[in-house]
Structure 1
Amino acid sequence: MSAATRRRIVSIGECMVELSSAGEGLYRKGFAGDTFNTAWYLRRGLGEGWDVAYHTALGTDTTSDEMLAFFTEAGLATDLVRRIPERMPGLYMIHLDGAERSFSYWRDSAAAKLLAADPAQLDAAAASGDAFYFSGITLAILSPDDRQRLLDMLGAARAAGKLVAFDPNIRPRLWPEPDVMRAAMEAGAAVASLCLPSFPDEVAAFGDASPEATARRYLACGTGEVVVKDGSDPALVATEGGFETVAARKVADVIDTTGAGDSFNAGYLAARLDGAEPRQAAERGHELAGEVVRHYGALIR
């Protein structure tokens, strides 16, 4: 297929240095982050007619060089990666309690916080993408002005008929106050044609009584399609035409849930971009997430 006939999805956000358990008190270094994880699995799940680009910012240090090489090895286009001297990638450590995880973060000087500071880079992303994916973490790490600049670009992309997918992926610690966080989640949904929230996050942030309440709230923001993830419970697929639940794959040997939601998003998006109906897409998302939780860390090789 010629380059002229290929299409491209641009995933926008932060990739970090990941330290995951290697046993016996040792940690393994990797590279991961919510929108990067989804891009990683998209590259493996999309049909041959699609390319996947990652839009972020890195430093000019050795770790940033290693991360950029990792993007390339993963098959991701890197022409939208901005390099910023005096900055470097953020880092996080995974703590496991059984299969459940918590995180410690170091990201104060992360280059990715400036990923939307260059209007020319945003213009290049807008011009090169046929579809876009971003998250609440993407919005959280940006300054208010940069956040609005990114939302304006994505809103224009949707208005032009392009798919814009948004995972709220709510992380309260990244926000100065709850009202600012909730307003940003609704602003993200307003520019998105597809929203992929996680129900436990939405209960904590918005007090939703049910996945149906979450879906209705995001539909009211203006998004056209909502898929409410709920861990091992069924996902709810909602459009203005109705609601449908899709059972999750039963997995007996779960060892680490890191990256489960990100991989579900990739499976769902890949299926929808390849022409599948929402139910089939949710089944593919569950299938991929069910495989990911059987491995340590966000990415399986």
Structure 2
Amino acid sequence: MAGRLLSIGECMVELMQADGGLMRKSFAGDTFNTAYYARLFLPADWSVDYFTAVGTDMISEEMLAFIKQHGIGTDKIARIDDRSPGLYMIHLNDGERSFSYWRSASAAKLLARDPDRLRHAVEASDIIVFSGITLAILPPEDVDTLLSELRRAKAAGKLVAFDPNIRPRLWDSAERMRETISDGARAATLVMPSFDDEATHFGDTSISETIARYRALGVADLVVKDGADGATLAFGETNTHVPSAKVEMIVDTTSAGDSFNGGFLAGYVVTGDAPSSARFAAELAAAVIQHHGALVAKDKLPPAIG
């Protein structure tokens, strides 16, 4: 059955290391990466749209062309004068990454400024994806606008998927970060946290504690990612552990969680089965981290699920 996935957030200019001390330019960002991998593996009768804002400059034009080239709709992307996309640079050390960011004039910070445009996009979609980074870059009043629309979508029975993706330096205080992340979870039907983030910033001592905390916020389903230790799924009354997939050599972990999210959502659309979707997502993430950059070509990835 045909459907539409809407991913909400910030796509940025990505600079990564290349040979000879050069840098290679691409475009990426957590919810965009999720949209990219979902598009690769969703059925052809599903549409994938990205909801953000960009400028009217040359790099914004290049970004829009890049998004379209990868089969992701751009009709819901706003254009804002005197703004431009943010930029980040990947630094690698034995496959683990750190980042430098330049995003003070990012147009994406204004993505929720037009409530009517946001409502129309959400109402037209079956699955909506957002993240803690989406919430972190927005002014507080726009966070309220976005979460209001997502709560409406949840009440209407849509699948609202949230990755807390906790990045402390994007927030002005740890208290507001934890409060807003919790509000984001309340607006979601599926939360896909990383356990190390939850342990660090919420003090969880076990995955069971993470699951219980989000369940208390009204979250129906959870996929708790735990790196090399796999993932724990809490759907209904059943908790299921899915092991990680074998990795020969870690090259770049930049999009490990994002690719898992996209693969899981695509698999869940196809099969309706959470454990098999998580197994596929684990294989996908394992393949992705064996290559450079956030977005890896489909011919280097496992075959589609189902």
TM-score range, shorter chain: over 0.9
1:38 corresponds to: 34
> Aligned with 2:290: secondary structure?
coil
Q: Which amino acid aligns with 1:295?
A: H
- 1:175 aligned onto 2:179: no
Shift of 1:201: 0.9
Q: Distance in 1 between matches of 2:5 and 2:89?
A: 29
Shift of 1:206: 0.6
Shift of 1:218: 1.0
Deviations 1:196-231 (A, max 9, x none): 000111111111111221111111111111111011
> Aligned with 1:30: secondary structure?
strand
Q: Which amino acid aligns with 1:36?
A: F
Instruction: Please give the residue correspondences for 1:233-252 in structure 2 after superposition, counting only pairs within 5 Å.
Output: 233-252=229-248
Q: Distance in 1 between matches of 2:118 and 2:95?
A: 38
1:70 corresponds to: 66
Instruction: Please give the residue correspondences for 1:103-252 in structure 2 after superposition, counting only pairs within 5 Å.
Output: 103-252=99-248
Give the gaps of 5 or more residues in structure 2. 298-306
> Aligned with 1:17: secondary structure?
strand
Q: Distance in 2 between matches of 1:169 and 1:188?
A: 11
Q: Which amino acid aligns with 2:84?
A: M
Give the gaps of 5 or more residues in structure 1. none
Tell me which stretches of 4 or more aligned residues in structure 1 moved more than 4 Å: none
> Aligned with 2:112: secondary structure?
coil
User: Which TM-score applies when normalising by structure 2?
Assistant: 0.95
1:293 corresponds to: 289
Q: Which amino acid aligns with 2:182?
A: E
Give the aligned length.
297
Q: Distance in 2 between matches of 1:25 and 1:119?
A: 44
Give me the identity figure in percent: 53
Deviations 1:144-186 (A, max 9, x none): 0100100010110010011000000000000010010001111
Q: Distance in 2 between matches of 1:190 and 1:62?
A: 38
Q: Which amino acid aligns with 2:194?
A: S
Deviations 1:5-55 (A, max 9, x none): 731010000000000111332211000000000000111110122110000
Q: Which amino acid aligns with 1:27?
A: M
Q: Conserved in 1, the CA contact under 8 Å of 2:271 and 2:277?
A: no
Q: Distance in 2 between matches of 1:262 and 1:281?
A: 14
> Aligned with 1:176: secondary structure?
coil
Shift of 1:254: 1.4
Q: RMSD between aligned alpha carbons?
A: 1.0
Shift of 1:83: 0.2
CA 1:6–1:244: 2 relative to 1, 3 Å: closer
- 1:280 aligned onto 2:276: yes
User: Which TM-score applies when normalising by structure 1?
Assistant: 0.97
1:261 corresponds to: 257
Q: Distance in 2 between matches of 1:56 and 1:21?
A: 27
